[in-house]
Amino acid sequence: MATLFASIDPLYVLSGFGVGMLVGQTGVGGGALMTPLLVLLFGIHPATAVGTDLLYAAATKTVGTLVHGAHGTVDWRITGRLAAGSIPATLVMLVLMSRFNLLDTGTTQLFSAGLGGALMITGVALLLRKRILAMAGGWTSGLGETRTLLATMAAGAVLGVLVSVSSVGAGAIGMTVLILLYPRHRLVTIVGSDIAHAVPLTLLAGLGHWMVGSVDWLLLFALLCGSVPGIIVGSMLSARIPEWVLRPVLAVTLLGVGLRLVL
């Protein structure tokens, strides 16, 4: 055990702490920040960064799901609908990535472009969330039960593709879609349901990346060593730092990093 801790780069632990603290404050930004951080700052291959971050997110959001479940703030019906779309889409993407050797080092640019695009979509969703809700709120509130079911499954499928390729989207994008489709639900229930859905999604996608050799277990352990206390600290600070201050900063950061990866 001593040898294991001695081989850990303290910068990985510090990065996990920083991202964990931000997630604790805003509720989003885990995959959107950790993956580009690993790629741009530490030079990790994009495929390895995505695979490692997926399992990192699965472990982190499992804790969140337990807390929300204990407080009764998870609508398992919504979670199941999302999973009905995201799980098959994730399986298809994992088969395609393995079959066509998309994790080969020659496809780094493809992963970087996909990651950059997902980051920019997430940034726009954060910046324009209120406007998006205002524009589409009337339309989505008039959907019937069947159309809401199908729209939720379709949204899950899109999230499955995005998360499988880039590890980004389950947080900010998923939240925005659920608020549109379920306007009568309490926000805390939307948050809990989105977090619960992210667990099987990121776990399945992460295991798929592991099977094709794109998970760094030592890196994953180092990140979790920092993220667990980081989430605790971030949750404590969330009452003092308003979310409306942090969200624009996070959104602009994601847009800038996304442009950097695409270009």
**Positions in the chain whose pLDDT score sits under 50:** 105
Q: In the structure encoding, which two tokens stand for residue 204, read together?
A: 């399945």
d(CA 32, CA 23): 10
Q: What is the per-residue pLDDT for 99?
A: 79
pLDDT in tens, 41-82: 888 888 888 899 899 888 878 877 888 888 888 899 999 999
Q: What is the per-residue pLDDT for 242?
A: 67
Q: Does 4 map to a domain?
A: no
Q: What is the per-residue pLDDT for 165?
A: 79
Dump the DSSP string for 217-239.
HHHHHHHHHHHHHHHHHHHHHTT
Nearest partner of 135 among 145, 144, 147, 125, judged by Cα: 125
| Amino acid residing at 159 | L
Q: Does 235 map to a domain?
A: yes
Q: Does 42 map to a domain?
A: yes
| Contacts of residue 60, Cβ cutoff 8 Å, sequence gap at least 6 | 20, 23, 30, 224, 227, 228, 231
Answer whether 0.85 is exceeded by the pTM: no
Q: Does 80 map to a domain?
A: yes
Q: Does 6 map to a domain?
A: no
- Cβ atoms of 226 and 12 within 8 Å: the answer is yes
d(CA 164, CA 39): 16
Domain count along the chain = 1
Q: What is the per-residue pLDDT for 113?
A: 73
Q: Does 53 map to a domain?
A: yes
**Domain assignment of residue 169, given as a range:** 11-262
Nearest partner of 101 among 234, 246, 235, 213, judged by Cα: 213
